[in-house]
C-alpha cells in the first residue's frame, strides 16, 4: 500500500452527516487552534507537500468519470418531482445530447490512444483501456436508469393529456380510422418518396451509416428465396421531417389530448408499402456514434478555412465508437451490425425504448401552451434603458456596467454594438466570435457597420466544436461585406469574448470594450448564466487593443497592464494570486479563495489548491461539471469545499475571488481551469475594480454558495450528495433568488422613472397654483 493510501486509510466517512460534521465550525475552530501559528502552518505544508505530485494518482479523480457524474446530476433533474413534467423531459433530451457528444469526442479519443499502443496514464492512474471499460460499465447503468425515468415521465404526461407512442404493437390499438387515414395520407404524400430502402447482399454491400442518424434494420425472407435470411436498412429522415408527428387531437371531458408518434413508427406501420410480399421478420431501430473530432494538420494547412470545410465532410464517416439498438433486435442481426462496424460487445447499447432521445426537445418546443407543465416564464430585464443609443458611450464613461445573464437581458450588448454601427463618430469595431446564433443580430450589425464605412475586424474561431459549419457560413458572409475576417490561429483556439469600439471624440480617440464569460449568442444568453463587463477604462482598453494586434498581425507578444491572457500569462497570474493567499494564511492574515467555474482538471492548479488548504486557506469551489480535485482528504484538502449547481439555467460564468488580506481581488474570465484553457486557447482574465460592482459579484458568490436546492456537494469518493437545508430553514434556490431579485430591481427603477416623470409634468390643480406659476 502506498504512503498516500496509508495516509487516507484513516478517513472514515459513511454518510452525508459524517462528512458534513467534519466541516462544522466547532471542529474547524479546533483545527485552527492546533495550527494557529505560522510555524505550525509551515510545518503542515512541508510535511504534507511530500504527497503533492502530479504522479500521485490518489490525489485526482478521473476526468471522464467525473464528466459522467455530472450527467448523473443532469438525470437527477429529470427525476425531481418538483420539476414540471416538460422540464423533466427536457433534461432527458439534454442528457442524451451530452452523452452523444461524450462518445463522439472523449470516448473516441480514448479508443485512439488504445489503438496507438501508447501507454497513456490518466490523472487517477488508470490506463485508457481501463477508463474505457469503466465508462461502458457506468454508461450502461446510466442508460437503463434514464429509460426508467423516461417511462415514468411519459406515463405522467399521458395523465395530463400528452401521449407519445413508442411501440408499433401498442400503437395500433390506440389508432381509430381517422388516425389511420391521417397516417396513411402522411406516409404517401410526404414520407414514401423520401425513403430509400437499402438491401444488403453480395451486390449491395453494407451501406455507410451516417453518424447519429436513426436507421431501421430489417430482417426478412425474400419471396423468391424463402429459405435464406436477408437484411435491409432504411434511414429515418428526421433531418428533413419532424421526428414526432402530431396526430389529430382528441377531446376527453374538458381536456384536449395531444398525441405524437415517432417517424420510425409510421414507417413500421406501412413497411409493406416498401417490401411488398417479402416476409418481414423483425424491424428495429439503431444509431451509431462516430469519432467526430476534426483532424487538422494546421501547421501544413495554407488555407485553414478550406481545410476545415474538407475535414467536416469526413466527420460523418469517422470510426464507429458505439452502437445503440432497440430492445428485441435479434442477436444475429445485432452481431451482424456490430461486426460490420468493428465494435466490441461492451460498445453495443440495448435501449428499452425509442432512440435519439435528444429529439424530445421537439415535443418540449411544440407544447408551449401548457404552462402547468413548464417552468414559469422568465423575461430577462434590461439593465440599461436609453433614450438615444449614442447615450451609451457617455454612460460607460461615467461608470463600468456589469451584466448578469440571463437575469439581465443581453439587449445592452446588442445596443452597444448597434450604437457603434450607426454612430458617425465610431471609427472601428473589433470582435471575437466563438459561438453565435443561427440568425445572429451580432453578425448583422457588424455587416451594417462595415457598410457604413467603419473598419470592422472579426476574429472567427472556425474550430469551435460542432459550430464549425455555422461559423464558416458567417465568415464568408462577413467577407462579402468588406469585414476583415481572421480565421483563428495555428495551434490555438480563440475562446476569449471581446468586443471593442474605437470612437473619435472632442478630446481625442477613445475606446470602449465589452468582455464576457460567455458567447455572443442572444439565444443561449437566455438560458446560460454569464457575466459581462462594459468599460471605458483606458488601461483595460489598451490591453485589449494590444491583444487584437497580436491576434490579427505580427505584433510581438504584448505586456498587459490589467488583463491576463492565455496562453501568455493567465496561468502565472492565477498562480501568483493563489500563492499570495497561501502567504497571507501563513502570516496569520485573512486568506480565502472562492471560485466559480465549469471545469477543474488542470493538475498544477489542483496541487496549488491543495497547498492553499494545507496552509489554512479556506477554498470554496463551485464547479458545475468536471472536477478532478478531491475535497476532504485529511491533511491535504480538508479546507476545500466543492459544490455543483445543476438547474433551470446552465451555470456558465467564471468568477475568481481572492481575499487578499481584506482587500478582495475579483476577476471574471472566459477560462476554466483546464490544460486546454490555460495552454491551448486564447482566453481573457479581467479585473472588476469598481467598488459597487465588486460588492455585486461578492453578493452573487454568496448567493450561489447558499444554494441548497440545486446544489450538490462533492465527497472524497467522487460521489455527489444533494445539500439539505438545516432544521427550520427553507430550501434556497440561487437561480430563483436571482430571478426574483432582478424583477424587484427593475420594478424599482420603473417606479423611480415614473416619479421623476411626474415631478417634471406635475399638473396645476387649483387657481393659486396657476397664479403662482405665472408669477
Distances (CA, A) of 390 to 90, 393, 600: 41, 6, 41
Look up residue 172 and give its DSSP letter.
G
Q: What are phi and psi of 322, to 5 degrees?
A: -160, 140
Burial (CB count within 10 angstroms: exposed 0-12, middle 13-18, buried 19+), residue 674: buried
Asked if 495 and 677 count as a contact pair (C-beta separation under 8 A), the reply is yes
3-state SS, 371-400, equals: HHHCCCCCCCECCCCCCCCCHHHHHHHHCC
Extract the C-alpha cell encoding 182. Answer: 391521417
Longest dimension (CA), the chain: 112
Extract the C-alpha cell encoding 494. Answer: 480563440
User: Is the bond preceding residue 363 a cis peptide, omega within 30 degrees?
Assistant: no
Q: Catalytic positions, please?
A: 495
Q: If you search the block for the grid coordinates 481581488, which residue do you land on?
A: 665
Closest Cα to residue 238, out of 392, 355, 139? 355
Distance CA 538, CA 534 (A): 12
Asked if 4 and 10 count as a contact pair (C-beta separation under 8 A), the reply is no
Distance CA 457, CA 451 (A): 13
Tally the C-alpha atoms within 13 A of residue 388's C-alpha that lie toward its C-beta: 6
Distance CA 633, CA 443 (A): 49
Look up residue 763 and give its DSSP letter.
P
Q: How far is CA 559 from the centre of its chain?
A: 32
Distance CA 407, CA 737 (A): 10
Amino acid at each position: 500500500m502506498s504512503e498516500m493510501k496509508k495516509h487516507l486509510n484513516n478517513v472514515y466517512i459513511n454518510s452525508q452527516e459524517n462528512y458534513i460534521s467534519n466541516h462544522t465550525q466547532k471542529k474547524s475552530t479546533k483545527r485552527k487552534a492546533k495550527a494557529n501559528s505560522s510555524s505550525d502552518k509551515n510545518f503542515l505544508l512541508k510535511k504534507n507537500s511530500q504527497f503533492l505530485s502530479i504522479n500521485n494518482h490518489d490525489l485526482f479523480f478521473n476526468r471522464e468519470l467525473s464528466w459522467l457524474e455530472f450527467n448523473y446530476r443532469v438525470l437527477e433533474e429529470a427525476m425531481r418531482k418538483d420539476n414540471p413534467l416538460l422540464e423533466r423531459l427536457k433534461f432527458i433530451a439534454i442528457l442524451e445530447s451530452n452523452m452523444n457528444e461524450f462518445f463522439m469526442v472523449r470516448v473516441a479519443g480514448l479508443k485512439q490512444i488504445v489503438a496507438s499502443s501508447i501507454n497513456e496514464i490518466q490523472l487517477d492512474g488508470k490506463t485508457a483501456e481501463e477508463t474505457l471499460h469503466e465508462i461502458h460499465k457506468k454508461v450502461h447503468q446510466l442508460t437503463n436508469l434514464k429509460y426508467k425515468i423516461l417511462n415514468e415521465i411519459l406515463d405522467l404526461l399521458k395523465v395530463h393529456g400528452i401521449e407519445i407512442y413508442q411501440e408499433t404493437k401498442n400503437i395500433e390499438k390506440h389508432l381509430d380510422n381517422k388516425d389511420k387515414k391521417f397516417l396513411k395520407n402522411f406516409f404517401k404524400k410526404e414520407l414514401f418518396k423520401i425513403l430509400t430502402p437499402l438491401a444488403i447482399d453480395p451486390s449491395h454491400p453494407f451501406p455507410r451509416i451516417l453518424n447519429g442518424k436513426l436507421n431501421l434494420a430489417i430482417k426478412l425472407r425474400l419471396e423468391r428465396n424463402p429459405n435464406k435470411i436477408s437484411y435491409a436498412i432504411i434511414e429515418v429522415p428526421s433531418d428533413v421531417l419532424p421526428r414526432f408527428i402530431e396526430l389529430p387531437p382528441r377531446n376527453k371531458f374538458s381536456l384536449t389530448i395531444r398525441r405524437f408518434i415517432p417517424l420510425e413508427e409510421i414507417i413500421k406501420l406501412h413497411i409493406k408499402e416498401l417490401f411488398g410480399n417479402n416476409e418481414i421478420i423483425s424491424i428495429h431501430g439503431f444509431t451509431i456514434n462516430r469519432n467526430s473530432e476534426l483532424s487538422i494538420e494546421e501547421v501544413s494547412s495554407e488555407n485553414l478555412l478550406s481545410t476545415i470545410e474538407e475535414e467536416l465532410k469526413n466527420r460523418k464517416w469517422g470510426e464507429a465508437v458505439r452502437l445503440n439498438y432497440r430492445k428485441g433486435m435479434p442477436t444475429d442481426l445485432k452481431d451482424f451490425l456490430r461486426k460490420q462496424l468493428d465494435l466490441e460487445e461492451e460498445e453495443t447499447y440495448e435501449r428499452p425504448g425509442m432512440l435519439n432521445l435528444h429529439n424530445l426537445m421537439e415535443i418540449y418546443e411544440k407544447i408551449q401552451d401548457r404552462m402547468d407543465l413548464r417552468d414559469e416564464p422568465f423575461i430577462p430585464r434590461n439593465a440599461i434603458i436609453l433614450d438615444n443609443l449614442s447615450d451609451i458611450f457617455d454612460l460607460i464613461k461615467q461608470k463600468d456596467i456589469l451584466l448578469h445573464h440571463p437575469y439581465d437581458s443581453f439587449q445592452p450588448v446588442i445596443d452597444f454594438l448597434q450604437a457603434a454601427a450607426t454612430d458617425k463618430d465610431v471609427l472601428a469595431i473589433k470582435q471575437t466570435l466563438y459561438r453565435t446564433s443561427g440568425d445572429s443580430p451580432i453578425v448583422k450589425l457588424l455587416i451594417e457597420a462595415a457598410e457604413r464605412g467603419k473598419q470592422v475586424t472579426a476574429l472567427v474561431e472556425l474550430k469551435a466544436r460542432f459550430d464549425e459549419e455555422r461559423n464558416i457560413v458567417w465568415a464568408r458572409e462577413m467577407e462579402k461585406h468588406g469585414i476583415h475576417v481572421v480565421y483563428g490561429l495555428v495551434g490555438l483556439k480563440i475562446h476569449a469574448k471581446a468586443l471593442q469600439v474605437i470612437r473619435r471624440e472632442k478630446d481625442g480617440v477613445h475606446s470602449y470594450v465589452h468582455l464576457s464569460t460567455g458567447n455572443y449568442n442572444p439565444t443561449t444568453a437566455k438560458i446560460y448564466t454569464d457575466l459581462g463587463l462594459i468599460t471605458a477604462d483606458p488601461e483595460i482598453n489598451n490591453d485589449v487593443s494590444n491583444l487584437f494586434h497580436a491576434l490579427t498581425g505580427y505584433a510581438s507578444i504584448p505586456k498587459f497592464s490589467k488583463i491576463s491572457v492565455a496562453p501568455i500569462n493567465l496561468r502565472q497570474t492565477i498562480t501568483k494570486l493563489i500563492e499570495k493567499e497561501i502567504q497571507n494564511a501563513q502570516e496569520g492574515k485573512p486568506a480565502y479563495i472562492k471560485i466559480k467555474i465549469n471545469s477543474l482538471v488542470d493538475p498544477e492548479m489542483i496541487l496549488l489548491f491543495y497547498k492553499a488548504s494545507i496552509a489554512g486557506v479556506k477554498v470554496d469551489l463551485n464547479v458545475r461539471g468536471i472536477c478532478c480535485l478531491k475535497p476532504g482528504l485529511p491533511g491535504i484538502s480538508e479546507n476545500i469545499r466543492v459544490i455543483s449547481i445543476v438547474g433551470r439555467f446552465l451555470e456558465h460564468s467564471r468568477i475568481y475571488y481572492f481575499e487578499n488580506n481584506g482587500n478582495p481581488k475579483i476577476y471574471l474570465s472566459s477560462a476554466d481551469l483546464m490544460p486546454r484553457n490555460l495552454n491551448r486557447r486564447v482566453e481573457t482574465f479581467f479585473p472588476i475594480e469598481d467598488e459597487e460592482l465588486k460588492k455585486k459579484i461578492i453578493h452573487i458568490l454568496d448567493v450561489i454558495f447558499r444554494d441548497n436546492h440545486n446544489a450538490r456537494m462533492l465527497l472524497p469518493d467522487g460521489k455527489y450528495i444533494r445539500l439539505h437545508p438545516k432544521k427550520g430553514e427553507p430550501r434556497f434556490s440561487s437561480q430563483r433568488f436571482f430571478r426574483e431579485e432582478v424583477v424587484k430591481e427593475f420594478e424599482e427603477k420603473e417606479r423611480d422613472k415614473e416619479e421623476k416623470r411626474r415631478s417634471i409634468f406635475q399638473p396645476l390643480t387649483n387657481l393659486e397654483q396657476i397664479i403662482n406659476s405665472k408669477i
